Structure 1
Amino acid sequence: MKSKDNASETLAKGLKILDLFGVSDAGYTLNQIAGRVGINKTSVYRYVNTYCELGYLQRDERTRLYKLGVRSLALGHAMLENSEIVRLVKPLVDEAHERHNVHVDVGIVSGDAIYLIYRRESKYTTAFRSFSYASDLYYLATGKAAMAYMEPEELRQLVERLELHPKTDKTITDKQELLEELRRVTELGYSYNNEESVPGLIAIGAPLYSLRTNKVIGGVSFDSATDTHTMKEFERLYSTYLVELAKKISAVVSL
């Protein structure tokens, strides 16, 4: 176990607040932030006020919602532009996108969320934003692919922590049903998202592994609009290519 003697508890609380904003584009009120991160409202106010002054957050005066500020967005963009993992993943994803004309997302798991690190859109999916800065794992093809191949105890603890809120009327909100679907994912070798995150958007996902640790670290997905492909057709046409791409990405990633 790592020692916490040299860690800053104050900084950790502040970063926990910032981390919350990666998971939703909608924004949060002060009360919502305090409730979600488990920090009292007075302390949360000091944190978010400081972040607003520095440009990491911004407050909508009409809705009173706090959202990511320009400085956070610029920092995130700079990190991705200079990231070694993005440099390695990019040519593989670009090749798959050009060859199959599909939307491709690559995400890395951290904590209980999956973080988008690289995307190539197709002309059929430009209107969709199902996977933003970071998203919960259970309603995305990338997230479910990663969950299905986690160590059993790691998965059990994750599912216990999850709050399964519906994104659409097709989102899985029952934990036992989710576990059953994850079992089917391991049989197929890929996951699927049948309009569970956004109406009109389907996806299939495959797990990414670190060959250094032999553990799942994320997922890659192909996405399509429902007016372009049915779910079954999309699986039949692209699942083999997706699994091959996942293996190629895993071979160059060393997290």
Structure 2
Amino acid sequence: MSPASDNSLSDSQTQRLNDLSIVSPEEATVEPDEVLSVIESLKRRIASERADYIKKRVEGNTQKLENLTKDLYNLATERKCLEIFDADGRIDLLSKRQKDALDMQNGVDTSNADDDSNSSEDDGYATSAILLGSSIAVKNAVRPIKLPEVKRIPPYTSWIFLDRNQRMTEDQSVVGRRRIYYDQNGGETLICSDSDEEVLEEEEEKKVFAESEDYMLRMTVKEVGLSDIVLDLLGQCLSRKPSEVKVHTWF
């Protein structure tokens, strides 16, 4: 497309955009109360549709979650009710394992009680070890190892990387220089830099119209037309500038 055609197209769009502020005599008589009534009606309709959508999603997720938790509950129930038989009758396997674990922890061993007490007196480091998957208490003499204490920087100390250091020249580089100081007692950071950090300019956030906002704009303009009053009230309702509403309505 040639530059002349681009300019003509741009001028045409600009002219049509400027014509949006020109309203007919019928639209000029629209009262603010009427526009507000239409906007409130649309807001209630959107809220109702949103509530119905959320309700359907919750019901669907509830059904899926019910099927999942039902399977997990059945597995847990079967495991809990698992029982074994021995010479004395029926025994709950879970209760038996709990009792065996407590007995092993307390050092209860009826068959070798005396031998265990003697071995404990001979070796002060003797400890009882619980073997998983076994119902027999096993005494295991293990000499505990005490790890040496190592002084470290407190976990709440923060290391801060400054973007401004990337743009320094070699003679101003922080390599080999101490820019972060710590308290000798608590290890807390005292100084992060010798100068104030550069304040980055915040980019203006581009606001995007949501689907519900776009629906409200289209339906309001369809019912009461497009005028300055409508743009102002829509801007107040959507917390946007009338110019943004006008441009979005056009495109």
User: TM class, shorter-chain normalised?
Assistant: under 0.3
Higher strand share: 1
TM-score by length of 1: 0.18
Rg comparison, structure with higher value: 2
TM-score by length of 2: 0.18
Higher helix share: 2
Larger relative contact order, structure 1 or 2 (CA cutoff 8 Å, min sep 6): 2
